[in-house]
Amino acid sequence: MKYSIATVCLSGTLAEKMEAAHKAGFHGIEIFEQDLTKFTGTPADVKRMAGDYGLEILALQPFRDMEGMPAPLRQQKYDMLEKKMALAHELGTKRMMMCSNVQPYSSPDLQQCAEDLHAVAQLAKQENIMLGYEALAWGRHIADYDDAWKLVNLVNHDNLGIVLDTFHMFARGNTLDTLINDIPLEKIALVQVADAPKLNMDVLQYSRHFRCFPGQGDLPVVEFLQALKAKGFDDYLSHEIFNDEFRASSPYEKAVDGIRSLKWLEDQAKEKKHTPPEVTDIEFIEFSVADKANNPVVKVLSSLGFETTHVHKSKDVELMKKGNVNIVLNKERNSNAHEFLNKHGESVCAIGLLSKDSTKSMAFAQRYHSDVILEANADTELSIPAAVGAGDTLVYFLDEKSPLKFYEADFEPLSDKHSAEDDNLVRIDHVGQTVSNTEMLSTIFFYKSMFGFETEKSYDLPDTNGLITSRTVTSPNNKVKIALNTTNASQTSSQHFLKQSNGASVNQIAFECRDIFVEAEKVDRDYLLDIPANYYRDLEARFGLEPELLAKLASNNIMYDQDEKGAFFHFYTQEFNGIFFEVVQRVGEYSRYGEENAFIRLSAQSMARNTD
């Protein structure tokens, strides 16, 4: 199939939108009439520009309120469309799109509407143009696509077909029955695919602000494409997305998201789904650091019991370990880590993920248009591929089948270091990433498309200075959990971190342990986040915990939560460069993250920052 995008999806000028669509790999573009109207050149200039970028102008759109108008306005609409068809010729397109009438004075008489559309279809025949008729979800009399099909079928004209837009179809709860059983392939004039989260709200506001690319929402877009393909459809798939986040984002970045979503949609609609290899665990977290001496991150890691156990054979890189947890400190000057350091300061520059097939994982990253990094290494060293994620963070693909751990191949052990044998710290439980409000959907889809991660429901976390929205993506085996946080409020902790780090992403690393009290008692109290005493009084009231347990929790600044499946203990370190660590203990089958305690943690961190 070929891919198209409507100019309304992207920010910028018409020239910038076309350039972004070309660079992202689109084959066609729909010209939104407002973009053309405010363009300072001629329609012929637009045609030349599209040709220079190798883009077919798929359609000119949208034209509204064409059918069922009162007699005085009917001729006016016909005359207007005649002029717009001349415009379409200048653009070099043979398709135009019309939306169902929304005016309160429009006629509900289906026969009158059919006569009106037949007249414009006759005009389209003279002009060699295909008209597409779309049911707007808030149309006055035609709001469902099956009603739009009844009207198009009643008109019965070769130059009038139906526009299938997944948002308008599914926002009102329509099924695919009419598409599957009634609409012939040759009467499909245009296909527009959009997704959206499931929301219960006014459909016009829903449409204007919450549409997103396929795979970023909850609509049955995969089933829709499967139904189309079963009919033999092999024409353009096009985007028409209205979204506040998109309009505030780089046109190129959003165009790449659009291409990625269409490829994902086609992959999912195949009889045998094209799925990425499973990512099974987090193998390491890598920090870019200027120096190890007097480094606050190193100090808190040391307080948590981490020690340097290996040094790289040829680079200025060290490995700190505790139990099965690997933290890499990269000081190498000629490296991606050093570039990251110069831009973002000392922070997490990479995450190493274990894949069941790292080569195939990399192929998925390339297919879904991620920037790919492959650092030059000595012949005897591992060459680990990486994709560029949120905030310039590299995501490395390590092969689970490799006979050696990454540090066994590229690092020399320090034989006098034994703390790594401590088995109380089990693994990295989850990672927190902060992204701007214009990157949330894109980052979620990064993990969904390339790694097959699933998305959990979102939570609102009450920060002292506003709400933070948190949504976790998890690997199919539930071992890799990445909490993605964003906010619109300018003074929250999330925004504080983004400003402080110049847009870095990872600011939270949570370690799972077997006995949290053993871990807490080892940590220097200067590094623990202080939790107010009133929190423990609230715990006593909510859960009726034994006084002895409450006292142990309070003395170690440990927080607590429970549900019907189990219990959750966790404590936090102070922030360093906006980054903090968490140690957790899960009891039973508790699978959440202690969200009920988030407001206390955020408040305590805010107080600590203000004290500093």
Residue 20: give its domain's CATH number.
3.20.20.150
3-class DSSP string for 404-460: CCHHHHHEEECCCCCHHHCCCEEEEEEEEEECCCCCHHHHHHHHHHHHCCEECCCEE
| Residue 207 sits in the same domain as residue 287 | no
Burial of 325 (0-12, 13-18, 19+ CB in 10 A): buried
Structural domain harbouring 362 = 279-420
Does 220 fall in a domain?
Answer: yes
Residues of the chain falling short of pLDDT 50: none
CATH for 305: 3.10.180.10
Q: What pLDDT is stored for residue 419 in this prediction?
A: 52
How much is the pLDDT for 321? 94
Pair 260, 307 in one domain: no
In a domain, 81, yes or no: yes
607: tokens are 């107080």
Same domain, 536 and 506: yes
Q: Which residue has the tokens 């080892």?
A: 522
Whether residue 238 is found in the same domain as residue 340: no
- The stretches of 304-357 forming alpha helices (DSSP H) are 336-344
Tell whether 33 is in a known binding site.
Answer: no
Look at residue 378 in the predicted model and tell me its pLDDT.
57
Cβ neighbours of residue 408 under 8 Å, at least 6 residues apart? Answer: none
257 appears as a binding residue in the annotation = no
Asked whether residue 466 falls in the same domain as residue 411, the answer is no
* Residues 407 and 368 grouped into a single domain: yes
What are the tokens at 512? Answer: 């799972």
Q: What is the pLDDT of residue 377?
A: 61
- Which of 234, 269, 304 delimits the end of a domain? 269
Per-residue confidence (pLDDT) for residue 272, from 0 to 100? 83
Among 244, 269, 294, the domain-final residue is: 269
Residues 408 and 454 placed together within one structural domain of the fold: no
Residue 247 lies in a domain: yes
Q: Residues 30, 125: one domain?
A: yes
What is the per-residue pLDDT for 421?
A: 62
Report pLDDT for 545. Answer: 93
Q: Any idea of the CA torsion for 402, 392, 298, 334, to the nearest 10 degrees? A: 80
- Residue 134 marked as a ligand binder: yes
Amino acid at 553: L
Residue 379's pLDDT is what? 62
Residue 458 and residue 317 in one domain:
no
Question: Has residue 405 been placed in a domain?
Answer: yes
Are residue 296 and residue 410 in the same domain, yes or no? yes
In a domain, 253, yes or no: yes
Q: What total of structural domains would you count in the chain?
A: 3
Same domain, 163 and 35: yes
Determine if residue 271 is labeled as part of a ligand binding site: no
274 within some domain:
no
Point out the domain boundary residue: 214, 241, 269: 269
pLDDT at 29: 98
Are both 233 and 158 inside the same structural domain? yes
Alpha-carbon distance 287 to 393, whole Å?
Answer: 10
